Every structure is written in C-alpha cells, then in structure tokens.
Structure 1
C-alpha cells in the first residue's frame, strides 16, 4: 500500500460538506488514509485500533460507471416526461448501458475469482465510456454524474470513518450487522444532514448515497448473499435514505425505482408481482422485498 494520502481525502470530504470543515478536522485527527492500488475488489476498510482507513482505487472506475449510467437514464426519463429533449443520443445511452454492464460483470468476476488464486483478468471498459474530470467542456449530465460520484465516494469513506468514530471492533453476527447500520446512519447524516443550497444539491447528495448502496445491491442479482457480518445491501439502501428523504413521492425514490428496474429487466424479474409500479417509496419497498426473495433462491437450481 502507498503512503498516507490523507490531505487528498480530507479535501474531497471538505468539498462535499464545506459547512463541516472544522468538525472534519476533529473527526480525522490522527487517522491515516492509505490508498490501495492493487486490490481489485470493493475493499474499503477501517481499523479502529490503528485509526486507519484503506481506500481502494481500482474499484472506483466501477463506482463511476454506476453513477454515470444511472444518471444518464434518470435524466433521459425526467426530461422526456416534461416533453423536452435531454440532449443524449441513442448512442450515448447505449454506451451508458454497456458501461453499467461492464461494471457489474467485472465486480461479479472479481468476487468469483478473487479467492481462487487465479489472477483476475477483466474486460476493458467500453471504448467510448467517459472518464470523470477530464473534459473541461463537459455537458450537464457529465458534470452531474461527477458530482454524484464524489458524494458516493464521500459516503463510503465516511462509513469507514464512522467505524473509527464509534469505536467499532471486530465482532460477529447481530452486533456486527448493527455496527454496519450505525456506520451507514452516521455517514448518511454527515452527507445528508446539512443545509443545502438548492434542490440540485439536495438531489445529488441523496443520489450519491443511493448509488453507493445500489453499487453493492446490483451484485445481489447474481451472487447469493451469505455474509453474516453485514446486513444485505438492499436493506441498507432503505435504512440510509429514509430519515432524510422528504416524502413518499420524492424524486430520490423515483431514481431508485428506475435504477432497480434496469436490473429487474436484465435478470428477468417481473414487475407484475408488484402491486403498482410508481416512483414512490412504496414501490422501492416492494422491489427490495422482491430482490430479497430472488437472492434467497440463487443457486437452488444446482442443489
């Protein structure tokens, strides 16, 4: 692992919640941040005893893919509902879909091969997939995606910081699961519990938190959840958002419905089992319940 790069991390976190700069100095005092350039998996990690946070770098390309793809789809849907044109071509939307497909498949491949000792060889990302922060003339969708990406990454880092702040140490079963919920709640409050400048600021903060947990949830369509130290990501998604989303019909719920619908279609889950498909919290709750049932059945056909 490389040397401490704490000031880079602190600058990111200050950028997301500048109102809490003084609090951040206290929160991160004595904490060492180390970047891991070698780990392929989603290997963010905290040690309360060592006051250490490890930030994996290579997986962030897949987080970016989720942010860009979902926001493209969300923008296209929202703008079309108003009768306008998002400015996104069919080719751009296809690239966004391919980019998301690449991200999910890469994470699944890493999970399947990571413990086998066989080197993980991943496909290259789609050649036309955009990179963040490289185009000074980036369009509105690109800039929005970049802002969401930074919020998602900040939530994940704050989740790890929360483990240190709350004094979490290695435990098992129910207590470990509660620690994860507590770390999510603390991180979400840090990102979402501040005054926002406008509706866009409110939206991108919530979408950042949502996508961080949708990233993990997307794997549930292919990989049976068996980790007894963490709660299922689909339950974490609801728990993290519910305290601060403004209402039953908030746009954030609509975003989550659209994102999950992409995966429902991809894996052949029928929306007909839902009582009603609306862009509301009620639909998200039903979709989460469906994911749980679907995930529980993974692998049974081979038993």
Structure 2
C-alpha cells in the first residue's frame, strides 16, 4: 500500500507542479494584461484630456479674436455717433477757420473749447448711466493733428513735464489718423498702438452737410477690457505682449519696472497675473506665437500663444493664455 502511494505521489507531483506553475504563470500574465489595459486606458484618457484642453484653447483663441472684432465695431459705432452729433460741424468750422497746421492756433483752441462744452453733459451722463470711466473720444484735424481728447480736463498733452493745451501732431506715430484723413476717408476699426500701448479703436470721418471732409474722431477701448471679458474661469490667465520695436511709438511703456521686457524683443503690456506670466512665458514661445498659434504643455500649465494683428493686418504683438491644468492632471494619477 505504501509503495502504491509512493508511486502515485511520484506520478502526481510533477502534474501538480506543472499545474501550479501554469496557474501562477496565468495569474502573472493576467495581471500583466490587466496592467497593460489599465495603462492603455490611462493613456487614452490622458490624450482625450489633452485634446480637450487643446480644443478649449483653440475655442478661446477664436473667442478672443471675435471679442476684438466686436469691440472694434462698438468703438466705431460710438465714434460715428460722435461725428454726427449736433454742434460738431459748427465746432469744426470754427477750428478750421484759422491755421490748422499751427499747434497753437487760436481758432483751433476755440473749436476745442466748443467741443468740450458740447460733449461735457453727454460724457457725464454716459459715466453716470454705465458706471464706467469717461468715454475716450478723440477728435482730429484733417492735418492729422489732435483737436481734442475729451477725457482730459483742459489739457491735451505733456511737454517738458507740463500739461499743455495744443493741437499736437499725430502724424509721426498714428498712421490710422493719417490714413482716414486722406481719400477715400474710409472708417477704420481694430488694434492700433499709441503712446500708451495697445488700444482697440474705431475711427470715423467727420463731414459737413455737403459731404465735405472736416477731420475724424475715434473711440478708444482699453485692452484691459478685452482681458476682463475674455477671462471666463479662474484657472485662465492672460498676457498681452507688444513687439519691442514699437516702443518708439508706445513711449509710455518704456519703464521696465512696470512693463518688463522678454529677451529684449517683447514688452509685457498687460496681464491678469504678471508674476505667473514672468515665470512661465519665455521669448521662444513669443517668437513662435508672433508667427502663428502655438501651444505648449508644461508641468502644471498649458500655454497658448497667438498673433495680435493691428487694423492693417500687421503683426504687432502676442496674446498668451496660461491654463492651470493641475486639476485635470490630478485625475490621471
């Protein structure tokens, strides 16, 4: 009996060993298969998440371009209404009765004062009704000189540290003003760089009752307003960068403590979180973004940069959106 058991044991033991090894190998293979499936699923989820982030960035870029266009339309509408307001034609007739090429011309000063009187109650009502700052309306002479900036109280520009009330020359740095005061005097809307950097402008011609060209008027909407309406989530941060070659025009942005430069090629004009922007945005991203839309994925943020074009279609800067994607990445760990 003992011998039979011994033979049976010798016969069955290898079978048991084979079964155990096979079973163990199957378990290992199963675990590896499950791990592979999980890894594939995680990677698929990651790719879908990143695709969603990219799609969101593209949609936001389209939305921002649309906001610029809509703001340009609004600025032009306001300028057109100002151009046709009662009393404007008479104020221009007065201003142009002297020498519009002279910055200190007395007739231009009289026309300037007339426009201030005319629009003061309108601008006060606008501010009271909307709760916004003074509407920035700027009338120009046909010589591309400033006639009056209505948001400034009794002065036009600064010279040698003094505020003075003159018809200062815009022709050297405001090409849109030069353009609209030349035939065919077509309205202009969009981005143009001025002394204070980017602004979204609408510029309308001013004409008399017979259609004779008298000058032009513009409405300026600050770029900060664009950032405000475009930011729809706390996880979104925006930066506006101007090419540094335009500092010859935007002289108000030369203070690098307030408007830091990036690689000497770009100037940070405005941003919703300057510390974050200075940490995450580099010259390489901006150079690429100036030419075409580009995206980069960093450790916890997704960056999207795209060109800013002025009213003429020229590339004048870069808009950057920084998206905090930490919460999305946390779901993948």
Q: Give the TM interval when normalised to the shorter protein.
A: under 0.3
Which has a greater percent of strand? 2
Question: Larger C-alpha radius of gyration, 1 or 2?
Answer: 2
Question: Normalising by the residue count of structure 1, what TM-score does the alignment of the two structures yield?
Answer: 0.24
Question: Normalising by the residue count of structure 2, what TM-score does the alignment of the two structures yield?
Answer: 0.23
